[in-house]
Amino acid sequence: MRSDRPSFRAFTLIELLIVIAIIAVLSTVLMTALSGAKRRTQIAVAKSQITALKAALANYKSDMGRFPRRVQRPTSATDATAYNDDCVAMYAALRNKPTLAAGGGQNSPYVDDWKAEYVGWVTDLGGLNAGTNFYSDGTQYVEQVPPDEAEDLMTLNYQNQHLPANAGGGNGPLVFLDPWGNPYHYREWASVRSNYKDQMITTPVVRNGLATPANVEGNVITDNIRDRPHNPEGFDVWSNGPNGVNEFGHPESDDVTSWSE
């Protein structure tokens, strides 16, 4: 006698395993694509931010007759202070109130639409010196400003608390952060004596032995890097890029720089 009940064919174990494997492959491909898209978006944001900083610095110079500078000027072409990071001067000049105490230009802020999530404070000023960990192996000397303090960023009180003279613990000077949470590096070259700069360009400082920090995304340039002024009549601004390691704008690195725009 013929049954009217429908018959169902069950999946075999092999078929289930094949389906699981296909899903796993598709998930990996999707995650890779999303990661690549995020990276490209962050690089685009960094380029846009550097363009904004360049325009702001030009406006500051138009008002003040010079570019921001707080670190001392070098006394020779081999003076290591010439390579110190002056990112705290860039922030103070472009974002602080236009007062002598806070260090802002007469028409500050020059970048008033900068998001609070891209602002941090330096926890160790010594880390800004050329050749330190801050400059080579990605060691963090900067923390993002807590969200609950974001509304205070543009107040004179808050800015005065975060000047280099008042740096202590997590209450250090403010800096611009890139999309990866690292500070934008800034060096002012316009005021450095021409003969020093000429020597720095023809005989660059060699940076070598860059360490590879843990959890780095992508490769790190470990070969010798020729560190020199790129815009001797103005300034250099750059980001460490996705891997978070300062590679001094090496052309094969992932650094995002003002001179390659």
Q: Judge whether 61 lies within some domain.
A: yes
Q: Judge whether 137 lies within some domain.
A: yes
Long-range contacts formed by 212-219: CB under 8 A, 24+ apart: 212/137, 212/245, 213/137, 213/138, 213/139, 213/244, 213/245, 216/138, 216/243, 216/244, 216/245, 217/242, 217/243, 217/244, 218/242, 218/243, 218/254, 219/243
Q: Judge whether 202 lies within some domain.
A: yes
Domain count of the fold of the chain: 1
Q: What is the pLDDT of residue 76?
A: 92
Angle between helices 13-64 and 87-95 (to 10 degrees): 70
Q: Judge whether 163 lies within some domain.
A: yes
Residue 107 sits at the vertex; the CA angle it makes with 105 and 113, to the nearest 5 degrees, is 100
Nearest to 67 by CA among 153, 190, 217: 190
pLDDT tens for the chain, residues 1 to 261? 555 666 556 668 887 888 888 888 887 777 766 667 888 999 999 999 999 999 999 999 999 999 999 888 999 998 988 888 999 999 999 999 998 888 899 999 999 889 999 999 988 777 777 655 455 555 567 889 999 999 999 999 999 888 877 655 557 899 999 999 989 999 999 999 999 999 999 999 888 766 666 667 677 887 788 899 999 999 999 998 998 888 889 998 999 999 986
- Specify which residues 188 forms β-bridges with: 235
Q: Judge whether 213 lies within some domain.
A: yes
DSSP 107-119: T--S-TT--GGGE
Judged by phi (left if over 0) then psi (alpha if -120 to 50, else beta), residue 219 lies in: beta
- Exposed (0-12), middle (13-18) or buried (19+): which is 177, by Cβ within 10 Å? buried
Tokens of 29: 């491909």
Q: What is the pLDDT of residue 211?
A: 62
Q: What is the pLDDT of residue 100?
A: 82
Could you list the beta-strand ranges (E) of 138-215: 142-144, 174-176, 185-188, 205-207
Distance CA 12, CA 102 (A): 73
Q: What is the pLDDT of residue 35?
A: 67
Q: What is the pLDDT of residue 209?
A: 60
Distance CA 238, CA 47 (A): 9
Q: What is the pLDDT of residue 46?
A: 97
Nearest to 171 by CA among 121, 216, 222: 121
DSSP state of 211: -
Task: Tell me which residue range forms the domain holding 150.
Answer: 36-257
Q: How many residues does the chain have?
A: 261
Q: Which amino acid is at 38?
A: K
Q: Judge whether 23 lies within some domain.
A: no
Q: What is the pLDDT of residue 1?
A: 52
Q: Judge whether 4 lies within some domain.
A: no
Q: What is the pLDDT of residue 48?
A: 96
Q: Judge whether 247 lies within some domain.
A: yes
Scanning 98-218, the segments in alpha helix (DSSP H) are 133-136, 156-161, 194-202
Q: What is the pLDDT of residue 36?
A: 73
